[in-house]
Amino acid sequence: MVALRRRVARRRRRTVALWRRSLQLRVVTTTTVLTIVVIAALGSVVLARVRDGLLDAKVQAALAEASNGTTAAQDAFRSADRSSTDYDTVAHDIVTRLSSAGGPAGANSVALLPGPEGSQPAPFGVISHDMDSSSTIPHRLQERLQSTTTQQWTYCTLTSTTGEEQPAVAIGSLVTIPTYGLYELYFVFPLDKEAATLGLVRRGLGFAALGLVILVGAIAWLVTRQVVTPVRMAARIAERLSAGRLEERMKVRGEDDLARLAAAFNKMATSLQRQIRQLEDLSRVQRRFVADVSHELRTPLTTVRMAADVLHEARGQFGPSVERSAEILQTQLDRFESLLGDLLEISRYDAGAAVLEVETTDLRRVAQSVVEAMEPLADRRGSQLVVRAPDTPCLADVDVRRIERILRNLVANAIEHGEGRPVEVGVAADEDAVAIAVRDHGVGLAPGEAAMVFNRFWRADPARARTTGGTGLGLSIAMEDAHLHGGWLQVWGESGDGSQFRLTLPRRVGHELAHSPIPLEPRDSARRRRPVGVGQPYQQVSTVAPPGAGRAR
């Protein structure tokens, strides 16, 4: 039973996936279903019209024939001798003769029943031919006939003497037997021929409807194929273009709308190819320029650094203005050297020359060492650094130097934008991954900024004074370091509620991440503290993972 349910579930998932992927299937199915609905509605109307026509013709013919039979029966009773024996013989003869008459309305069965209460004692009982009158004649027809004394009719079920049943029309009339009063004369006309005709019409309409549905489905399939095939081709070409095969083009056939679409697609692909190549050439020139400038500046920077160190060490021998100039020169050289180091690191990533020096490390100790190194900066900014880590080791194969650089950048960024509030560094691990989160309670991120925080030289507020130095490349380098480990570097932020950066790394190099031990949105965020239904929360989340990595959650 379990295996059967699994097979059914798999087939259902495959059917749903096929339905979502195939535009042609959806169009053909929708067209066929709508055709079936329309044909069913029209078929019902046609069948109702045919049925009503057959029944009306049958009823009119039956009424005429019953009226004639009633007149003949009445004449026979009037001309008979007025004795019960003669009446009984006449009655049997009338019922037999009327049953075998077979007029325009077809064969019929006849029954003669004693009249309503108040008549004289009947000279004979119930006389019927080829039917069970007690179960065939409806009581409502008898009541109507007795109350109106005019010809009445209704639909009924004819029950033969052998017990067979079939739909029929029952018509009742009153006849007068001299001396004895009123008798009820019933004619029952079976509807077997009309039912057979209606069945033949129904089968004909069914076969015609089936053929029409198949024809409409085939036409819809052919028409949609002509439209969907170029679209599928465009999708395949687009996938190849996105994979880097910029020379792929669609075939242009004819001069219709689809041909114009293919021509426009090819023009777009050619334009994109030209622009992409121009951007690649420009990017290559820029990377080469950055690398060349960075390397070329190393030698003069070393010379200037040596001269600046001599001036800085002997600054006490100069006047106050020269001494201050020597200190400013030393500070700016430090910043310039840091910027040059970042540019060289970026150029190594652009050239694909960055490599990992992996060792198994407890990331709790890495986080603690970075926090201790950043405490002087936090003290100057009035922030308190707090480390939250489990008691068990959080081991992972990492390049310690690069992980420390990532954490220094994240902690420095949190101190810079933390507005003097506490900065929390959390460490957690599970069987597959290790995560470090840096949480601040400062200005946070405005809508749209989370997608740009890792861009090179990007600043949230260009007019804001940078008090902790920095080159604008720290988060970009941190992202490259995370990618090199096969990890994630993600950010969450709300304006006025601070932000949280989360670094997630696999425990073993080459393993693919599927989740993180630390939630991206902190538990103390304003949205989680806000009561349900109060306000409209806004949140910025940037999820950046290397190609091929699992989906973050």
Distance CA 537, CA 527 (A): 6
- The predicted pLDDT at position 367 comes to 92
Mean pLDDT of the chain: 80
To the nearest whole percent, how much of the chain has pLDDT over 70? 83
pLDDT tens per residue, range 82-122: 665 677 788 888 888 888 766 676 777 888 888 765 455 66
More confident call, 534 vs 436: 436
CA 206 to chain centre: 35
To the nearest whole percent, how much of the chain has pLDDT over 90? 21
Lowest-confidence range among 115-129, 344-358, 400-414, 535-549? Answer: 535-549
- The predicted pLDDT at position 83 comes to 63
For residue 257, pLDDT over 80 is answered with no
pLDDT tens per residue, range 59-79: 999 999 899 889 988 888 888
- The predicted pLDDT at position 116 comes to 67
Architecture of domain 20-248 in CATH? 2-Layer Sandwich (3.30)
Average pLDDT for 397-423 = 89
Average pLDDT for 261-268 = 84
CA atoms within 13 A on the CB side of 412: 19
> Considering just the CA atoms, what is the radius of gyration of the chain in Å?
49
Annotation: CATH topology of 359-544: Heat Shock Protein 90 (3.30.565)
Which range has the top average pLDDT, 206-210, 312-316, 463-467? Answer: 206-210
CATH of domain 257-354: 1.10.287.130
pTM of the model: 0.49
More confident call, 99 vs 49: 49
Lowest-confidence range among 21-35, 186-200, 327-341? Answer: 327-341
For residue 550, pLDDT over 70 is answered with no
Residue with structure tokens 């004394």?
149
Average pLDDT for 462-472 = 51
- The predicted pLDDT at position 470 comes to 53
Average pLDDT for 491-502 = 88
For residue 436, pLDDT over 90 is answered with yes
- The predicted pLDDT at position 530 comes to 55
Question: If residue 180 lies in a helix (H) or strand (E), which one and from where to where?
Answer: none
CB-based burial, 430-445: b 16+ in 10 Å, e otherwise: eebbbbbbbbbbbbbb
Average pLDDT for 466-470 = 49
- The predicted pLDDT at position 48 comes to 92
- The predicted pLDDT at position 53 comes to 92
- The predicted pLDDT at position 241 comes to 79
98 close to 111: Cβ distance less than 8 angstroms: no
Average pLDDT for 346-358 = 71
Amino acid, res. 111: A
Q: Give the pLDDT band of residue 171 (cuts 50, 70, 90).
A: very high
Lowest-confidence range among 92-106, 170-184, 190-204, 510-524? Answer: 92-106
Domain ranges of the chain: 20-248, 257-354, 359-544
For residue 464, pLDDT over 60 is answered with no
Q: Give the pLDDT band of residue 407 (cuts 50, 70, 90).
A: very high
- The predicted pLDDT at position 291 comes to 64
Question: What is the DSSP annotation of 397-463?
Answer: EE-HHHHHHHHHHHHHHHHHHSTT--EEEEEEE-SSEEEEEEEE-SS---TT-TTTTTSTT--S-TT
- The predicted pLDDT at position 299 comes to 72
Q: Give the pLDDT band of residue 545 (cuts 50, 70, 90).
A: very low
343 close to 287: Cβ distance less than 8 angstroms: no
- The predicted pLDDT at position 312 comes to 77
Q: How would you classify the pairing of strands 385-388 and 423-429?
A: parallel
Retrieve residue 535's tokens: 């306000």
Average pLDDT for 362-368 = 92
Nearest alpha-carbon partner for 185 in 197, 176, 173, 198: 173
Q: For 160-299, where are the E strands, in sequence order?
A: 165-177, 181-190
For residue 520, pLDDT over 70 is answered with yes
Average pLDDT for 420-443 = 91
Average pLDDT for 402-422 = 89
Average pLDDT for 339-343 = 69
More confident call, 550 vs 415: 415
Exposed / middle / buried, residue 550 (Cβ in 10 Å: 0-12, 13-18, 19+): middle
